[in-house]
């Protein structure tokens, strides 16, 4: 318990600091609008009234934390889970394409890394392209992928998962190439003296040796995959997903709605990363104590 509180205290202090700054920022940024649209028409106003007004505007430049919290709460509680007005529904849609893309991207990354490690030709042929693929901005590639997959009859989750996968596979490939090459010469020679086949050496030596490299990359990958899935939701005119909510929010100047979607996407990202960390602890087990 003492250990928990020691870990939670710094987090709580940073959070409190951020909230204070947020409220101050809301006053500063919303004051001109509040004066012009709310207070000035009514006549003279006090400083207290100004502050309260900046924290309770309908379309603030920067909504106050409690406004976002209330909006989020209402969206979660007031509507059934399958309603498009419930943000959890959108979070689930985004999480689904993120996870599908993450699983496919991880598989692709591991397969690519295994191919690169086992073939010098592939090492030279593939690696430059893999690196180059990541220099293309995802914002540019997303509409292209959506149009092409759409014309082939893939709609819904597939194009979004494809873009999430596009962002996921890269960190996994790079980490796994390093991980699969991490066994020392003495370890590979040991397998050699046992006349182990390449398959046996891969599954009994290279793969387990690579796992400590894989998991940190998975945490990066799932966060990147979430970004990819949300970006993919922007140009589709998709009706569902946190990305779509961000877009509709900005169309209608619903800043509070944008912030709610933003906060929920951050929470979703934290949740997904925590899930990966949990799997890591389960898989690596006693190794993580080293």
178 binds other proteins (CB under 8 A): no
- Please identify which residue in 211, 227, 262, 263 interacts with other proteins, judged by CB under 8 A: 211
Beta-carbon count within 10 A of 106 CB: 23
Q: Which stretch binds other proteins (CB under 8 A): 49-57, 92-100, 135-143, 197-205?
A: 197-205
Rounded Cα distance between 81 and 64, Å, is 26
Assigned token pair, 118: 């086992």
Q: Is 39 in the site for other proteins (CB under 8 A)?
A: no
Query: In the bound complex, what is the minimum distance in angstroms from residue 103's beta carbon to other proteins?
Result: 23
**Binder of other proteins out of 142, 205, 226, 238 (CB under 8 A):** 205
CB closer to other proteins, 5 vs 184: 184
Q: In the complex, what is the shortest distance from the CB of residue 218 to other proteins, in angstroms, rounded to a whole number?
A: 17
Report, in Å, the least distance between residue 182 CB and other proteins: 11
* DSSP annotation string for 158-201: HHHHHHHHHHHHHHHHHHHHHHHT-S-HHHHHHHHHTT--HHHH
**Measured distance between the N- and C-terminal CA atoms of the chain, rounded to whole angstroms:** 23
In the block, which residue shows the tokens 């980490």?
A: 175
CA–centroid distance for 192 within its chain: 42
Give me the least distance between CB of 4 and other proteins, in Å please.
27
Please tell me whether residue 281 binds other proteins under the rule CB under 8 A.
Answer: no
User: Candidates 4-12, 68-76, 195-203, 251-259 — which segment interacts with other proteins by CB under 8 A?
Assistant: 195-203
Spatial neighbors of 161 by CB under 8 A, at least 6 apart, are 97, 100, 101, 104, 229
Residues in the site for other proteins, rule: CB under 8 A? 184, 186-187, 189-196, 200, 204-205, 208-209, 211, 284, 286-287, 290
């Amino acid at each position: 318990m003492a250990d928990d509180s020691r870990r939670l205290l710094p987090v709580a202090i940073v959070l409190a600091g951020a909230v204070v700054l947020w409220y101050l920022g809301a006053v500063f940024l919303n004051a001109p609008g509040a004066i012009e649209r709310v207070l000035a028409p009514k006549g003279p106003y006090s400083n207290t009234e100004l502050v309260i007004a900046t924290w309770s505007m309908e379309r603030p430049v920067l909504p106050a934390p409690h406004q976002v919290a209330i909006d989020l709460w209402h969206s979660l509680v007031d509507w059934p889970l399958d309603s498009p007005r419930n943000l959890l529904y959108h979070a689930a849609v985004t999480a689904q394409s993120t996870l599908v893309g993450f699983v496919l991207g991880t598989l692709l990354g591991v397969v690519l890394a295994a191919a690169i490690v086992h073939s010098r030709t592939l090492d030279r042929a593939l690696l430059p392209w893999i690196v180059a693929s990541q220099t293309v901005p995802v914002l540019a590639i997303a509409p292209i992928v959506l149009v092409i997959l759409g014309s082939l009859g893939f709609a819904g989750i597939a194009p979004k998962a494809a873009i999430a996968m596009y962002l996921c596979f890269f960190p996994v490939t790079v980490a796994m190439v390093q991980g699969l090459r991490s066994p020392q010469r003495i370890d590979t020679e040991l397998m050699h003296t046992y006349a182990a086949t390449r398959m046996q050496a891969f599954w009994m030596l290279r793969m387990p040796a690579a796992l400590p490299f894989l998991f940190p990359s998975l945490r990066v990958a799932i966060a990147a995959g979430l970004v990819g899935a949300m970006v993919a939701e922007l140009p589709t005119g998709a009706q569902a997903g946190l990305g779509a909510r961000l877009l509709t929010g900005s169309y209608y100047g619903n800043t509070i709605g944008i912030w709610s979607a933003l906060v929920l996407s951050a929470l979703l990202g934290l949740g997904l990363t925590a899930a990966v960390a949990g799997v890591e602890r389960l898989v690596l087990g006693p190794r993580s104590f080293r």
